[in-house]
Structures are given as C-alpha cells and as structure tokens.
Amino acid sequence: MAAIGLVYLLITFVVCFAAVHIIKLAVVGFFSLKSKKQPETEKKPDKNPEPVYYIVEKKRAKKTYSDPKEIQFKK
C-alpha cells in the first residue's frame, strides 16, 4: 500500500514540475514575440579615419651595474 502512495506522489511531483516550467517558458516566449527587435542598420565607415598613434619607448641598457647585494639568512 505504501508503494502506491509513493508512485502517486512521484507522478504528482513530475506533473506539477513540468507544468510550472512549461508555463514559465510560454511566458518568456510570449514576451519575446511581443517585443520585436528593430533591424540593425549597418554603419558606413568614415571616408578618412583618424590615424592611430603608438608610443614606443626604447629600453636603455645600463652601462654600470652596482655590486650585488648579499643576503644573510638566519639560522
């Protein structure tokens, strides 16, 4: 007898779950059809685009180096 109750509970859950999700999808679909998108107009490129300038810095090599530092570790 308890198994029949579990089967009915499972069937009821699946039916309600499916019904809720079908209704949600229908509402989303309805509002997507209601608001139609305007077709996008293609922008024509400018005849004379502005030039792009890049700043390039040259790295300078060191001519003299300082003495290496010695690291003392505590024991």
CB count within 10 Å of CB 45 equals 6
Positions of the chain with pLDDT under 70: 1, 36-37, 45-46, 75
Residue 65 lies in a domain: no
Residue 24 lies in a domain: yes
The number of domains in the chain is 1
- Determine the structural domain holding residue 5 and report its residue range: 1-35
pTM of the model: 0.43
DSSP secondary structure code for residue 7 in this structure? H
Residue 71 lies in a domain: no
- pLDDT value at residue 45: 67
Residue 46 lies in a domain: no
Residue 10 lies in a domain: yes
Residue 4 lies in a domain: yes
In whole angstroms, give the CA distance from residue 54 to residue 44. 26
| Amino acid letter for position 64 | T
Residue 12 lies in a domain: yes
CB count within 10 Å of CB 69 equals 5
CB count within 10 Å of CB 25 equals 10
Helices (H), the chain: 2-34
In whole angstroms, give the CA distance from residue 11 to residue 23. 18
